[in-house]
């Protein structure tokens, strides 16, 4: 019998307008929204540019996947029982090369080796058959 994948942690609360982002993740590509009118990236993805342009004309651009750690918190307690066995884990805000920040986990590293300014790159965690979370690991 094939091993069944179970994922008990919270899945993203999807909004319709973020579909290109999550489809990108599923295909292991990090695509970021950018206002066509101003050429500015923004994150998190929204249906309308949060800039003064208020533009709904949004393009999705593949990011380099390179980022630096802006800040991080080593979690010794998760939000629920579903995280049992995970701590300590690192939740971080990383600054993408494209200039926007995103929240993520820093993985494949001892949490205490993470530091502000650390260079990291995207890796893809297929948490279910349908959903992939982009996470980051240190650049070797």
Partner 1 sequence: MASDIPGTKEAREVLKKHKIVIAGVGETEQGKIPDRSSFHFLSQASKLAIEDAGIKKTDVDGLVTAFSLVEHTFMHCTTFADYFGMKPKFFTSVAIGGATAVWMAAEAAMAIASGQAEVVLCVRGDNTLSGISSSGMLALIREMCHGEFEFPYGLTTPGGYALAAQRYLHDYGATREQLAAVAVTMRKHAALKENAMNKDPLTIEEVINSRIIAEPLTKYDCSIISDGGAAFIVTTEAKAKELGIENGLAYLLGMGQGYSHQYMTTLENLDQIYNAINRSGQKAFQTAGLGVDDVDLAYLYDCFTITVLLELEGLGFVPKGEGGAFALEGRMEIGKDLPVNTHGGLLSQAHLGAMHHVVEATLQLRGDAGPRQVGDAEVAIVHGNGGIVSAHSTILLGKEPLS
User: Residue 25: CB partners within 8 Å, gap ≥ 6?
Assistant: 124, 131, 132, 133, 134
Q: Does 77 bind partner 1 (CB under 8 A)?
A: yes
Tell me the H-state helices in the chain: 19-26
Contact pick of 73, 113, 128, 139 for partner 1 (by CB under 8 A): 73
Examine residue 10 and tell whether it contacts partner 1 (CB under 8 A).
yes
Query: Does residue 80 bind partner 1 (CB under 8 A)?
Result: yes
89 touches partner 1 by CB under 8 A: yes
43 binds partner 1 (CB under 8 A): yes
Query: Is 1 or 117 the residue whose CB approaches partner 1 more closely?
Result: 117
Q: Is the CB of residue 35 less than 8 Å from the CB of residue 42?
A: yes
* Cis amide bond preceding 44, omega within 30: yes
Q: Does 74 bind partner 1 (CB under 8 A)?
A: yes
Does 51 sit near partner 1 (CB under 8 A)? no
Q: Answer whether 34's CB lies under 8 Å from 58's CB.
A: yes
Site of interaction with partner 1 (CB under 8 A): 9-15, 18, 43-45, 70-81, 83, 86, 88-89, 91-93, 101-105, 111, 116, 133, 135
């Amino acid at each position: 019998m094939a091993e069944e994948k179970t994922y008990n942690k919270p899945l993203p609360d999807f909004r319709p307008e973020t579909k290109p982002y999550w489809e990108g993740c599923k295909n292991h590509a990090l695509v970021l929204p950018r206002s066509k009118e101003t050429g500015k990236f923004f994150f998190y993805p929204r249906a309308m540019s949060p800039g003064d342009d208020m533009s709904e004309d949004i393009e999705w651009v593949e990011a380099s996947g390179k980022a630096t750690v802006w800040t991080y918190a080593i979690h010794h307690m998760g939000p629920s029982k579903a995280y049992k066995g995970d701590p300590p884990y690192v939740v971080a805000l990383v600054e993408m090369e494209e200039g926007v920040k995103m929240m993520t986990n820093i993985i494949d590293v001892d949490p205490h080796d993470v530091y502000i300014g650390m260079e990291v790159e995207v890796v893809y965690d297929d948490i279910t058959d349908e959903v992939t979370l982009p996470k980051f690991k240190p650049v070797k």
